[in-house]
Chain A
Amino acid sequence: MDALTIGTIIKILIILAIVSAIAGFGTYIERKVLAFMQRRLGPMHVGPFGLLQIAADGIKLFTKEDIIPQNANKFIFSLAPVITAATAFIAMAALPLFPTFTIPKSLPVIGGAIVPSTVADINIGILFILGTMAAGLYGPLLAGMAQSNKWGIIGSARTAVQFLSYEVVTGLSVLAPIMLVGSLSMIDFNDAQAGGITSWLIWQQPIAFVLFLIAGFAETNRTPFDLLEHEAEIVSGYLTEYSGLRWGMFFIGEYANMITISIIAAVVFCGGYNDLAFISGWFLFVLKVVFFFFLMLWARAAWPHVRPDQMMWLCWKVLMPLAVINILITGIVVML
């Protein structure tokens, strides 16, 4: 096998092992951050600072009884969580996580392998990521419909509505930066912003950035828009009948999607993994991704839910016209 193949396999392992671990760790971070913002302590007792809480939760999820309701469609019911978790990681195939690097030759076996920045540098990277993330919403949809529970049905109806609406906004908001860069590849996005902080696309496309963030919150069903599992209205939405490992897979998928959206925001709008002055690129990149991840938790602590009709109003009467106008202006500027 040549150096690149080994490197790609290493990269795949990195994504599967580390990112899924981080996705699990995200639950801990979320609980801690939310706790601090409400002046609580959060998980404290399992391990130092409650760090082993995720392990405890994992053990609990693994050993919990796996219940499938009597009237549920058993095949679809067990398929749905797999869709969410799998698509979340498939989307990461086209995500650049750090600059391409070569493993030093001194290491045995894997020495000299070139680890690429993305697993698959397909030239339509961003569309691929958005497409697979969209396919991931089949998870909640099928889960809600298969469980023969009215809360589940309402949850999946909301999934359909939310997805069909906000997919438009995500696509349109990313379209303006695509027009400026002239490519759909995540690597090209990164390279286009190599010229320091002033070349970041966020300065040229502030509206697109805000629109993308809002739509990203909706697509990962984070708090201002988490209609799918509004506890106060529909118990747990599509998750009502799930327990144990299947429930955990939905959770991992959701957090992996949050990481994906954070990475897209960092690469497309905030300079990617380019070096900035003396700070090395990958460190800065991690900082950016962590900031966007933190922003999602922060918004959850600060803002209340919206009503479904408010959300549709926001999407079709505010965000979509704004996105179209933004594209129009960008198009005129690019043409001139």
Chain B
Amino acid sequence: MFEQIAFYFFSVLTIGLFLVAVFSKNVLYAMTSLASGMVVIAGFFFLVGADFLGVVQLIVYVGAVMALYAFGMMFFNVTKNLKEKTTSTGWVLIVGVTAALLMTLMFLGAINPDAIYASLPMSDKMTNPEAVGMALFTKYLVPFEVAAVMLLIAMIGGIVLAGKKMDTSLTDIKDEVLQLKDEE
């Protein structure tokens, strides 16, 4: 009973928040609703008893959306509404509808509940984090390691791209030199 009420409550909240994230013209509203939508999704994990995944969702997406905020802060005036430039409405429509259709097809399996089964069912012997660890390090070891290597590559790439002049500190460079660089 409680679970069902909570489920529908969270569903309405999530859909509403993501709708705001898509349709709002204000960057601040869009990002805030995105962040809170991500937090609300953690509620679903708690509902089905996957506490660990819920908290991971919370920690990971809180951090990720905060990085998004940083970009928003740098690129937009967050207190003003944004005027979007859409050059071809047709393309946006076609791509959007196709994506929506694909997603619907992907999740069609959910219509028939018998078709869904857990490949690694939860057992009462293990606590939540242990179960996640078991799944990650046995059945899904290879994708897990591949993802890890991908993230490592991304990190190194980021450092290389951003860190070209990391050996000189901006505070140590004299103002005149900095101005000269600006003029170039």
Contacts and interface: CB of A to CB of B under 8 A. Distances in A.
Nearest to B59: A131
A164 B66 contact: yes
B79 A72 contact: yes
Return the 4 tightest CB-CB contacts between A and B, nearest first: A131-B58, A148-B79, A127-B55, A131-B59
A161 B127 CA distance: 34
5 contacts: A76-B32, A132-B58, A145-B79, A153-B73, A160-B70
A51 interface: no
A183 interface: yes
Contact of A167 (B32, B63, B72): B63
Contacts of A132: 58
Interface in B56-97: 56, 58-59, 62-63, 66-67, 69-70, 72-73, 78-79
B133 to A, nearest CB: 11
A306 to B, nearest CB: 13
B127 A123 contact: yes
Contacts of A161: 70
Contact of A146 (B79, B169, B171): B79
Given A145-B78, A146-B79, A309 B67 contact: no
A72 B26 CA distance: 12
A134 B63 contact: yes
A128 interface: yes
A309 B166 CA distance: 12
A76 B29 contact: yes
Contacts of A124: 51-52, 55, 128-129
A145 B69 contact: yes
Given A138-B66, A148-B79, A153-B73, A127 B52 contact: yes
B171 A309 contact: yes
A240 B63 CA distance: 24
B28 interface: yes
A131 B26 contact: no
Contacts of B39: 135
A41 B70 CA distance: 43
A156 interface: yes
Interface of B: 26, 28-29, 32, 35, 39, 51-52, 55-56, 58-59, 62-63, 66-67, 69-70, 72-73, 78-79, 127-129, 169, 171
A167 B58 CA distance: 13
B129 A73 contact: no
A73 B66 contact: no
Interface residues of A, number: 35
Nearest to B65: A138
Given A124-B55, A131-B55, A157 B62 contact: no
A234 B127 CA distance: 47
A73 B26 contact: yes
B16 to A, nearest CB: 15
Interface in A45-97: 71-73, 75-76, 79
A145 B73 contact: yes
Contacts of A130: 59
A217 interface: no
Contacts of A145: 28, 69, 72-73, 78-79
Contacts of A171: 59
A137 interface: yes
A56 B151 CA distance: 53
A141 interface: yes
B28 A128 contact: no
Nearest to A135: B62
B64 to A, nearest CB: 10
Contacts of B66: 137-138, 141, 160, 163-164
Contacts of B28: 73, 76, 142, 145-146
Interface in A118-152: 122-124, 127-128, 130-132, 134-135, 137-138, 141-142, 145-146, 148
A184 interface: yes
A96 to B, nearest CB: 17
A146 B28 CA distance: 8
Contacts of A123: 51, 127-129
Contacts of A183: 127
Contacts of B127: 123, 183
Contacts of A122: 51
Contacts of A163: 63, 66
